[in-house]
Structure 1
Amino acid sequence: MSYRVLEVNVDDIGFSGVYSLVASVIANKPADIQIDIAAFEHFENEENIEKLASYGTKVIYVGYEGSKIIKQHMIYRHLLAYLRENHYDCVHVHSDVASKLYIAGRAAKEAGVPKIIFHSHATEVDGNYKSIKRFMHKVTRPKLIKFGTDFVACSDLAARWMYPGIPEKDIKIINNGIDLGKFKYNPLVRARVREKLHFGDELVVGHVGRFSYQKNHEYIIRIFKNLLEKVPDAKLLLIGEGVDKERIEKLVKEEKLEKNVIFYGLSNHVEELLQAMDVFILPSHFEGLPIVGVEAQAAGLPAVFSDKITREAKLLPTAAFLPIDDSSIGDWVDTIISDSKVERKDTSDILKEEKFDISDTMKAFLSLYR
């Protein structure tokens, strides 16, 4: 009989880092483990559900599309009903805020699930109603100890954000591992993708992430506008979708940058698009430990991060951290220009030594599940 795990609060909206992580774990799991997903939101891409199904994974929607006032309560009721009808040995709940861990953990405990894992993936709140979300986060944080059997975070910062009252020794840090072989630098793929995107020898700055407050796209546009003053033929490749995309597209038009900025949309082949870039930037307002930052460095890309991101994201000597204030835009521009001259190479061995291969993450997950 297989060991049954339910991954909770996972969806493919914006092809998030959490989804990428869980999908990779599912693709690399042993045959004797059944992993299903309980999603609070509808999946955007039916193909992703079909791909998960090829590994034996079911995607169950336990969300609610009515009033946001009672949404969390309805999610609790739907998840509780599902867990009472379907046996799982372990529930693994992923979130950026304690309130979502709380409702899922409470449902799992009431349903009699023996192992309840809480997994922190961020260091702040995102989206609308930030003050309300932050309040609910702080109110529910102390209650997590009543429901969780295991406490996990992707970084020290994410652990402090989610578990301030839990002893450090009781919190496990698990790296957001990836398939290093899939992302390693390949000059042939780089040439093919750049040709497809009609790039010549120009400098290509890249970013992958949903259009939201967290990812700070407005600052990206400001950096790029200043970069064009020194490198007029540079290109900016933006991969992702999100609630702020229309606003950023409008900003690009106002700044007359349309010819130099590419809004690519979503992609299931980020590993190939990373090959086409010269420098990767992530000026986020906050992150747990960004999986896309790991992916970029696995592709041998110089990466420039916001100084709000944990230093644990620095896996290569070429990675840098800069402030995201007005006076630092020139530093971002100078660093991008300097980094674009770095010779690309296969860096997968370095990340393997740092235990960022998906096999290392799978081992860590299995140690929790078993």
Structure 2
Amino acid sequence: MRILMIGSALTVNGGIQRYIQNLLGSMDLARYEVDLLATHAPQGVPSGEDALRVAGVKHIYWMPGNDKQRLFFYPGFFRQHKNYDIVHFHTTSKVNALACGVIRHACPGAKLIVHSHIVYPPMTLSWQIAHRFYQHWADYFLGCSVAAGRFVFGDHIDEKPNFAVACNAVDKGRFHPDAAARADIRARYGVADTDKLAGFVGRYNHQKNLLYLLDIFAAMHAAAPSWKLLLVGGGEDKPAVDGKIAALGLGDVVIQAGVQDNVPAYMNAFDLFLLPSEFEGSPVTLVEAQGCGVPCLASTNVPADGSVTGLVEFLPLSASFETWADTARRIADCGVHQSRWDKLEAAGYELCAAARRMEALYDALVPGASGPAPKKENAS
């Protein structure tokens, strides 16, 4: 079976690309030949290209970074790259509703799956128009959460038989409580056993609300000077983050680690994971933190679908910083991290099982195209 997956910027800290990398790393790419169409990682930002090639993705193609420019790019691309059985299109955009029509005409023989990764209120008339285009052109709809599906495809999409939730599943072999990794990271950054360490992993952008997070942390540190903060990631808001840290006088207690590829070790170092986002679809980092047994404090703008372990609490962004600080102190005092994988697996967040579900969907949409498993030849 030939599949084209259309993603976003090929960074190691982008949520959609991490989902794609996790999924493809667990699929049987001998039976499902998956090509990837993406945009280059920005200059200076680590790319996930090597990891995807190691996973078995043979062909990675590049497209413009602007959604509108891609409308003119797709016809030429599909003239050169034909005969896909499935196009799996990851989307966070209204413009991509029009792109679905372009892809449908350019690649008429393929089943088109559109996969929503965002909730970005308020709902507008232009989004409502986009719902109609998406539903007219696509064959199947996926959402990283029910809320993400409803926002991008329409309020009642989850009542249709051609919709499913595709959890942002993670690898339990990597994301689990690890006392040695915790000790190593804390020692590396000078975090004592008596210190409390709050953490964040992700893009420095408007969505993740890093400036607000720093205000929360300032209140936490004022109430309890043993708090430190470790930020893992990078992005366009870094100059503003640097300025805010200086303005709040937090330079001695806020650590910026940059983009890292050993995220499980950093998650284990945290006593609390902070995610006061302006909007989200269903953040994979929230599942990763729970996999490592880390308490989480998120804004109510984060859909509750991913809260399945009892480790997550939510507060509105309208709550006072003192309320955030009090809640942070209370939920972080829970002792040694304990595994919650029994609950995560039951809720569908185990990566290998999620990959098998995606393969089953592909097989149902294009019966017989994947063929029998290839025979292994004897080693000579």
2:163 matches 1:169:
no
CA contact (8 A) 1:105 1:147 kept: yes
Q: 1:181 aligns with which of 151, 158, 173?
A: 173
Change in 2 beyond 3 A, CA 1:230/1:165: closer
CA contact (8 A) 1:281 1:303 kept: yes
**Structure 1, unaligned runs of 5 or more:** 65-70, 126-130
2:77 matches 1:82:
yes
CA contact (8 A) 1:185 1:300 kept: yes
The separation in 2 between residues aligned to 1:298 and 1:83, in whole angstroms, is: 40
The separation in 1 between residues aligned to 2:359 and 2:6, in whole angstroms, is: 17
Partner SS state of residue 345, structure 2: helix
The separation in 2 between residues aligned to 1:23 and 1:109, in whole angstroms, is: 28
1:260-280 Cα distance to aligned partner (Å, 9 max, x none): 111111111111110111000
CA contact (8 A) 2:12 2:261 kept: no
Q: 1:13 aligns with which of 11, 14, 17?
A: 11
Partner SS state of residue 236, structure 1: strand
Q: 2:88 aligns with which of 92, 97, 100?
A: 92
CA contact (8 A) 1:278 1:301 kept: yes
Residue 135 of structure 1: how far off its partner (Å): 6.4
2:112 matches 1:116:
yes
Number of residue-to-residue matches in the alignment? 355
**Equivalent AA in structure 1 for residue 327 of structure 2:** T
Change in 2 beyond 3 A, CA 1:47/1:216: closer
Residue 102 of structure 1: how far off its partner (Å): 3.1
CA contact (8 A) 1:101 1:118 kept: no
1:97-116 Cα distance to aligned partner (Å, 9 max, x none): 23224314522442224210
1:73-110 Cα distance to aligned partner (Å, 9 max, x none): 43123222222222311111111123224314522442
Correspondence for 1:272:
265
Change in 2 beyond 3 A, CA 1:364/1:10: farther
Partner SS state of residue 234, structure 2: coil
CA contact (8 A) 2:12 2:48 kept: no
The separation in 1 between residues aligned to 2:182 and 2:101, in whole angstroms, is: 44
Percent identical residues: 25
Residue 163 of structure 1: how far off its partner (Å): 1.5
CA contact (8 A) 1:153 1:172 kept: yes
1:114-145 Cα distance to aligned partner (Å, 9 max, x none): 210001111017xxxxx9x9665444221112
The separation in 1 between residues aligned to 2:306 and 2:145, in whole angstroms, is: 9
> Could you list the runs of 4 or more consecutive aligned residues of structure 1 that deviate by over 6 angstroms after TM superposition?
none
Q: 1:308 aligns with which of 285, 301, 309?
A: 301
Residue 219 of structure 1: how far off its partner (Å): 1.3
Correspondence for 1:29:
27
CA contact (8 A) 2:167 2:354 kept: yes
The separation in 2 between residues aligned to 1:365 and 1:340, in whole angstroms, is: 35
The separation in 1 between residues aligned to 2:294 and 2:118, in whole angstroms, is: 23
Partner SS state of residue 206, structure 1: strand
Question: Equivalent residues in 2 for 1:55-204 (5 A)?
Answer: 55-57=55-57, 58-63=59-64, 71-86=66-81, 87-124=83-120, 136-164=126-154, 167=157, 168-170=159-161, 171-201=163-193, 202-204=195-197
Partner SS state of residue 214, structure 1: helix
CA contact (8 A) 1:25 1:362 kept: yes
Partner SS state of residue 146, structure 1: helix
Question: 270-279 vs 98-107, which deviates more?
Answer: 98-107
Correspondence for 1:339:
331
**Equivalent AA in structure 2 for residue 54 of structure 1:** V
CA contact (8 A) 1:40 1:75 kept: no
Q: 1:261 aligns with which of 251, 254, 260?
A: 254
Give the root-mean-square deviation of aligned CA atoms: 2.1
The separation in 1 between residues aligned to 2:241 and 2:328, in whole angstroms, is: 21
**Structure 2, unaligned runs of 5 or more:** 364-380
1:31-52 Cα distance to aligned partner (Å, 9 max, x none): 2111121114546657521221
Residue 259 of structure 1: how far off its partner (Å): 0.6
1:296-343 Cα distance to aligned partner (Å, 9 max, x none): 000000011111121212121121011112x43222111211122102
1:144-192 Cα distance to aligned partner (Å, 9 max, x none): 1221000111112112101216542232112111101210001111111
